[in-house]
Amino acid sequence: MSLRVKLIVLLLFFASASPLAAEPARLTLNVQNQELELRQYPAEGEVVALWFAPGNGFGLRHDQVARGLQQQGIESWQVDLLENLFLPRGSASIRQIDPTLPANLIEQVQRRSGKPVVLISNSYGAILALRGMRAWQRKNLSDQTLLGAILFSPNTYQGIPSLGLPPQYVPETYASNMPLMILQSARNGNRGQLDDLIAALRFGGSQVFVQMMPGATSLFYEEDKAEATLDHLQQTPARILRAISLLDKLPKPDHVAALREETPAPAEDPLGLDIGLRPFRGDWSPPALDLKDARGRQHSIDDYTGKVRVINFWATWCPPCVEEIPSLNRLRQHFEDEPFELISVNYAQQADEVKEFLEKVDVQFPVLIDHDGTEAARWKVLAFPSTYIIDGQGRIRYGVNAAIEWDTPQVIQALRRLIEETTD
């Protein structure tokens, strides 16, 4: 019986039997003289899923999905390399990890379990999966026991670029040729860059399959409690099972994809986030913007021609976005009687969600609704909050891709200069 058929049989069996999943076990593996602790969700099936934690670690939803897989016969081993290596949380630390460490961990899991391995991760954990697979290939090219990777809303940015510039990916993104399945939350902030990411992954020869999850912002983000997200979460173990079946039957590469001779330099700031106004380095001409606000009134960026405009992209689920609202209110008040306008664009939420938020939080500027994130993608927004400053002539002059205090003397002075240029 083929592995694919056995997986389907297991799915039907466990769906009908629904046994209680066993508690995860703690186990330790010695990898490159480093004792790594993992959580093991044992199961009798013929595949083991090796999970790499994202930059913020594992949460309750990772446990929920692993237990769902366990009930369907798929064993999971979860490892948080940042925790094991005592590295700070975040994507910058993930990029520092030697690719041979996840590669050797794959070998250890294969030997210890005696099963083929599929890699799973989300967000920036995808960097560990891609780097680990390529480093594993360099030693085990003839081995067919690594099936590929299943990545949830993956981020493989080398660093967040200044606002308006295209993202740079870690070199292994272009040097991947193992089969990949992407399960993408449709409202995730990286949705607008998905096509570019797929093209980069296919550059090295990867077969890339994509399944969208409409209505979800981030499957493993526990503050995303939208009904659509919770529905997708319930379906995730079965989707992983089907993805494993697909990856298993695909041919595996007979060579290691070459790294590109010229790779982009890393961002000056490994986090790539701004701590103040930065001169804008992208296309100075802003895209069109014509949206309704949370109360149904239409707004166009052209309505404010001749004014200095601050366009702030944000979301209610983004804590830094919410934290900067008071200083944005004060900024608007400071320039209340001058040729100045502040507009915000809410990312991929429904008007009712935003109105409920506005009943609790004092927001003194229009909140436009970008229902599906299309406008944020056109404006090349990669991180939230992101804010553009447009002068009276309609040129983007400054960009900020992080939360800042908007009424500091430095910001007020910069905006004052733009206003003076407008009125001269």
Mean pLDDT of the chain: 89
What is the rounded end-to-end Cα distance, in angstroms, of the chain?
Answer: 80
Nearest Cα to Cα of residue 129 among 42, 185, 50, 28: 50
Cα–Cα distance for residue pair 76/67, rounded to 1 Å:
9
The contacts of residue 17 (CB under 8 Å, 6+ apart) are: none
C-beta separation of 389 from 397 below 8 A? yes
**Domain map of the chain by residue range?**
3-249, 278-423
C-beta separation of 52 from 91 below 8 A? no
pLDDT of residue 235: 97
pLDDT of residue 144: 84
pLDDT of residue 385: 94
C-beta separation of 119 from 125 below 8 A? no
Quick one: 3-249 is in which CATH superfamily? Alpha/Beta hydrolase fold, catalytic domain (3.40.50.1820)
| One-letter amino acid for residue 204 of the chain | G
Say if domain 278-423 classifies as CATH 3.30.930.10. no
Q: What residue ranges of the chain have pLDDT lower than 50?
A: 1-20, 265-271
The contacts of residue 338 (CB under 8 Å, 6+ apart) are: 419
**Residue 305: φ, ψ to 5°:** -55, 140
| One-letter amino acid for residue 43 of the chain | A
Q: Which two tokens stand for residue 134?
A: 């390529």
Cα–Cα distance for residue pair 189/167, rounded to 1 Å:
13
Neighbours of 322 (CB within 10 A): 17
Beta bridge partners of 299: 291
pLDDT of residue 200: 95
